[in-house]
Structure formats: structure tokens, C-alpha cells
Amino acid sequence: MVYNRLMQKITDPNKQLFSSFSVPDIEQIDRALTIVGLIPDDPLYQRPKGIDVAAILMDFNVDLKTILAAILSDPRLADLNPLPDITQQFGKTVAALVKDVNWLNKLTVYSPEVTRQPDQAETLRRMLLSMTQDVRAVLIKLAYRVQRLRNLAKEPYEVRHFISLETLDIYAPIANRLGIHQLKWELEDMAFRYLEPQAYLQIAKSLANSRVQRENCINAFIALLRRTLAEEAISAEVYGRPKHLYSIWKKMQRKQLGIEELYDLLAVRVIVDSLANCYAVLGTVHGLWQYIPKEFDDYIANPKENGYQSLHTVIIDAQGNRIEVQIRTRDMHNFAELGVAAHWSYKEGGKHNAAIERSIASLRKLLEEKDNDEALVEDFRNELFYDRVYVLTPAGKLIDLVRGSTPLDFAYAVHTEIGHRCRGAKVNGRIIPLTYTLKSGDQVEILTAKTGGPNHNWIDPNLGYLKSSRAISKVKSWFKNQNQAQNIATGKTILDKETQRLGLKTVSLDELARHFKQANADALLEAIGRSDINNRQLSAYFKIPELEAPSPKVKPKKEVAKSIVYVDGINNVLTSFAQCCNPVQDDDIIGYISHKKGITVHRKSCKNILTLGSDKQAQLIEVKWGERKTGHSVPIVIHAFSAQNLLNDVTQILAQAKIHISNAALDTHPDFSAILNLTIQIENTHQLSQVLNKINQLPNIVDVKRKI
């Protein structure tokens, strides 16, 4: 091997660090070491951080890709010019791992205030796990945190305090739930050392003073128990169980006891091959030594809520020492120690989560089965918190949302009034539509009006404004709580539009009220205005197909070309519709006075309007829809399981509705799924919603929506 000047700093024992790998693997590691060898010398470190992290990970029998990613995710590699092409030299998996670890190393979401908001700490832990594409990146990050803590003594007090708090609040619990207990204990003990140095030293000194006595006591206990079990022909593994300083301190705080009063500083674990032998060993232990009845727990007959099983007892030896004994089978031991999620749930007060269990199983398999890991990585990516998305407020507070949520869902999650008055949103500093699908890690800022309320379109499932049932309920409640007169007026407008659309000249409000079990006509109109009765229900009552046009026997009158928007009450103004947002009748709209095209009509949520410079905002003018029907070009996108008969099925629905298609493009994928992009001519958002609903009912359809 050829090492450059920085690699020469590594001593011969450290050169043997990776000797367990095959010759081809060592050649790849050597290439990675050569790259990090280009990093300028740093007096704070005897060798690059990535190599220290790789050394920590070697204790976990990790695979080659994990070691390479650990070495190559040294943050100082970003300063190299030119940057190394990790994908070309080491493959996509290593490059993706490095990207994940770099993201985790740069993350600055945590603040000490999180300690006073347990739900925020848990949400942050979940966000970190959900945004990581490969579970091995989390393992590497935890090793980086151990490396940071080992060198933390050289840094200022404020930095030591912050890093230690973050470790206890975020990273040690993640290590615990992933079953990486060696890292968990080291993270906790080192963070405890910096946060409570006096308590740490006091406990360490007490343990050091009694170390020889404790070792003699434990060794005598183990020797007698092993000899007795051998005489009884019981095969068992018996060993002393170390106690860690942070766990001792936590127990002292929880029970308000001094260190000399703790029972389980002396602890022994016994692992046997059968359930019957658990109780046989317990009988032997209680026969040889006096036991404390109130300290006995049978978690085999009465497992903990998370499934943990073991026998716990505390005995008193001939010298008066109290020794805790845990007895379990090998399966019980593996369940408790190898990281299945049930173990961390009772430690942290969390709930049983099958997705986390599967992710931990993926981690163990990735570490054990080092040849074919692509499927396991995909399992982790798809299963862990697959149904949640984690986003931030401008102040850094984390909001936990259902996957598929929009900025409008976010607004209602922050506060109901913010949702009601939401008129726009920024994601990561950029103006976006309210139908934008949020991703974990997005920072969302809501733009609100001083007054006003929600739009009826928000609760239409086909328009994609809201995903959360809670937010939809909030919008419906708002409409229900409006004053009666306003709801009646709104209901009358909706009913008039619906009867006009269906070509009905007269409608009996009394009969309609009886059908919908309303007390009178006013109650009926109020229910329609509150959205308790929707257009689809009205269409069903009139027994007219939702999308059916007037009878073809009736020759429609020729329309006179007029503006369909009013400008300050005048309807004979030159207008045109903006191609950037394609406004449709009933959309919230605004006019922009242009020099050549008269007034250009935009949707109020159009990004070009929302980002308009202050010098051009004076050219905005209020406009509203007129009553005359006209056609609007609206792009829609349809996702389907198969391309077979897709275009035929969709065009039949549109033909029955007398809706014209002006453009169509069908794309098929290798898995036979398909995406159909259409541009259709529709009259208003209600007609659009109905046709999208009809298409969505086709058995082949995955999703259909208006294209943004």
C-alpha cells in the first residue's frame, strides 16, 4: 500500500485496523484513505475524523460500504478542489450513504428548548430517521457523534454543553431504539461527564473505590452458581453485567437514593436454553442465597407491555452484598439486547411500532448479510415512518403531518385561524402553490390575510388542497359556524348555479328541503351554504347524470363573445387568461393591467402574482367572474396501473360529459404503469371536480389531479 504524508501518522496497529477484510476490499479502503490523505493537517486530530469513525464501527462487524462511507464522509473533504467523484470510484450506494451522513452532520435543527418539549424531541428523532435513505447512515452518524464527544474536552464550555444535551435528547435515544447499545452507553456516559462533571466524578470514584470488592463478590457468586448448575446438569452462561455511570445516576435521581443504597450495582445475568431452566435456575439461586421478596419480578409470566421477558431477583450474599440476578432464555436475551423496538418503547415511554421493528431487522441484516443489500435498503426506505412527513416552522418548531400534506394542512396544524386566513405559502424561501406536496425537512412559512375565511374548493378531494382529515374538518366547521344569513345567501348562489348548469327552470325548495330532511327552505339553503349538502347530492336528487350536457335535440343558441369577468362592475373590458396558471371559473382571481393585452386574469395563488415586485403591485386590480359560461383550457395528469385501455376509458367519460380534449400525451413505464397528460376544456371548478371524480372511479386509476 502507498500512504501519503497524512497516512504516515497512522501507527502500525492502526494500519491493521481493516485487516479482517479481503484483499480486494482492502484495496478499496486504501483508495478511500488516499483521498482523505489529501486533507490538510489539523492539529486537533491525530488522524482524519472519518478514520476514527471507521475504527469505532469496526467493533460492530460492519460491511465494506459502511466503512468506505464513514471514511469518505469526513466533512473536510468538501474543501478539496477538485471534489472526488465518489459515485464513479466507489458506486452509488457508498455515494448515497456519504450524502446522508453529510446531511446528518450539518443538521442544525436542535435547540436546548427541545428538552422542555418532549414531543418535539421525539418528532425530531423521527424526522432524522424518516429522511435517511439507508439505515447504515444513522449508524455512521452515531459513530461520528461518539468521535465528537471523545474530542469535546478541547472545545469551549458552551459547545460542550450544547453537544451533550443534543446527544442525550436525540442521538442516545436513536441508538437505543436501533439496538446499538454499545454506542448508546458511550454516548450517554460521555454526555453525562460534560453536563454533570461533579456527579460523574463522584460516581466514578465510588465505583473505583469498590471495584476490587465488587469484582471479588461477583466472581465468588458466579463461581458457586456455575458449580451448582453444573452439578444439576443445567447448561447456562453466567456473567457479570456492567452498570454504566449515566444509568446509575438516573436511578439515583429517580429513586432519590445514594449510590450505596442501589441494589443493582452488583449484577449478574444467567442465560439458559429453555423456559423450564429459567425457573430451575431461579430455584437454585433462591436456595443458595437469601432473596428480597419485594425485588422479585416475573416478567416471563407477566411480560412488559413491549414483550420484554426475564426473571429479576435480588439476593443477599454471606457478606451482606445485594446482587441483582437476571435469568432468561437465549431468545429472550436476543429480543432484549439486539435492538427490537419493544425494548426502547418502555425505556422511553413510546409506543410499539412495527415499522421501527422492521427497520431494526433491516439494520441487523445489512450488517450480517453483506452481499446483496439493495432490497434491504429499499425495505428501510419504504417502511420507516412511511406515512409521516416532518416539516419546520420559520422559528424551527417541528410539525408532524400525514404524508401527502400540503402547506394548507401545515397552516391548520399550526393554528386553526392561520389555516382559515391562509392565502399563500413559502417553502424553503420560495413561493409555492397551496397544493404543493410537502417533504420532510421543508421549512414552511404561511402568508395570511388579516380577515377572511377558507374557500369551498379546499374541501373538494379532487383539487388537492387538503390531505388531513383534521384540517378538512376545521374547514367544514368554519362554514357551519358562519352566520345564518350569509350561509343562506351562499346556499342560494350555489343552488342557482347548479340548476342553471343542469338546465332546470323551476325548483321546488319545499320538496328539496323534505328530501334532505330540512325543516324549511331557509334551513335547506343554509345547509347547502355550510357544505352539508354538496353539488353531487343535488345532482343525484334531480336524477340527472352529474356530467350530462343538455339534450342534443335542443340546439344551443350561439354565444356572443364577451368578457366573462367583471372589472369594477364593467363587463366589456379586454381581458385574457394567463397561461402560467390557467384560471378556471370559480377560482379566486385577480387582474393585472398589462400594456398590450389589456387585463390579464391570474389565479390569486399564481406564483407570478405572489412574487410580483412592489413596483408592479399597483397594476393589480380586483376582478370577478361573470355569469356567462365559457370554456377554459385546464391540464390534468392521470396516473394508472396500466396503459391498457386507459386512453379509451378516459376519453369515453369526457365524451359523455361533452368535454373537449385539446391535447393528450401518454407515457408508459417498464413496470407497465402509465401517465396520461391531457388538456381539457371545462366551464368551472365544479365541472372539473366532477370529471376528475368520474375518472378516479375507473379501476385502473392510481391518481388523477389538476396539473399545477
Q: What is the Cβ-side half-sphere exposure of residue 464, based on CA atoms within 13 angstroms? A: 18
E strand or H helix at 575: strand 575-577
Q: Of 131 and 2, which is predicted with more confidence?
A: 131
Taking only the tens place, the pLDDT of each residue in 644-689 is 888 878 888 887 888 888 788 888 877 677 888 888 888 777 788 8
The span from the CA of 701 to the CA of 695, in Å, is 8
Q: Do domains 205-338 and 388-480 have the same CATH topology?
A: no
3-state secondary structure 304-369: CCCCCCCEEEEEECCCCCEEEEEEEEHHHHHHHHCCCHHHHHHHHCCCCCHHHHHHHHHHHHHHHC
Is the per-residue pLDDT at 364 higher than 60? no
pLDDT band at 100 (very low <50, low <70, confident <90, very high): confident
What pLDDT, on a 0 to 100 scale, did the predictor assign at position 112?
Answer: 66
Q: Under DSSP, is residue 547 helix (H, G, I), strand (E, B) or coil?
A: coil
Sorted by where each begins, the domain ranges of the chain are 205-338, 388-480, 482-541, 565-625, 632-706
Is the per-residue pLDDT at 337 higher than 80? no
Report the CATH number of the 205-338 domain: 3.30.460.10
Is the per-residue pLDDT at 287 higher than 90? yes
Is the per-residue pLDDT at 2 higher than 50? no
Is the per-residue pLDDT at 284 higher than 80? yes
What pLDDT, on a 0 to 100 scale, did the predictor assign at position 560?
Answer: 36
pLDDT band at 453 (very low <50, low <70, confident <90, very high): confident
What pLDDT, on a 0 to 100 scale, did the predictor assign at position 405?
Answer: 92
Extract the C-alpha cell encoding 270.
Answer: 444467567
Q: What is the mean predicted confidence (pLDDT) over 578-596?
A: 79
Calculate the CA 561 to chain-centre distance: 51
Taking only the tens place, the pLDDT of each residue in 234-278 is 999 998 876 678 888 887 887 787 776 665 577 899 999 999 999
User: Hey, what CATH topology would domain 632-706 get?
Assistant: Alpha-Beta Plaits (3.30.70)
Q: Under DSSP, is residue 389 helix (H, G, I), strand (E, B) or coil?
A: strand
Say if residues 609 and 626 touch (Cβ distance below 8 Å): no
pLDDT band at 322 (very low <50, low <70, confident <90, very high): confident
Taking only the tens place, the pLDDT of each residue in 681-696 is 887 777 888 888 888 8
What pLDDT, on a 0 to 100 scale, did the predictor assign at position 627?
Answer: 59
What pLDDT, on a 0 to 100 scale, did the predictor assign at position 592?
Answer: 84
Q: Of 704 and 12, which is predicted with more confidence?
A: 704
Select from 75, 84, 83 the least CA-distant residue to 45: 75
What pLDDT, on a 0 to 100 scale, did the predictor assign at position 119?
Answer: 64
The span from the CA of 172 to the CA of 149, in Å, is 12
Report if pTM > 0.75: no
Taking only the tens place, the pLDDT of each residue in 180-219 is 777 888 899 999 999 999 988 888 887 776 667 777 888 8
Is the per-residue pLDDT at 528 higher than 90? no
Calculate the CA 154 to chain-centre distance: 35
Is the per-residue pLDDT at 232 higher than 80? yes
The span from the CA of 583 to the CA of 118, in Å, is 45
CATH 3.10.20.30 fits 388-480, yes or no: yes
Q: Under DSSP, is residue 667 helix (H, G, I), strand (E, B) or coil?
A: strand
What pLDDT, on a 0 to 100 scale, did the predictor assign at position 681?
Answer: 86
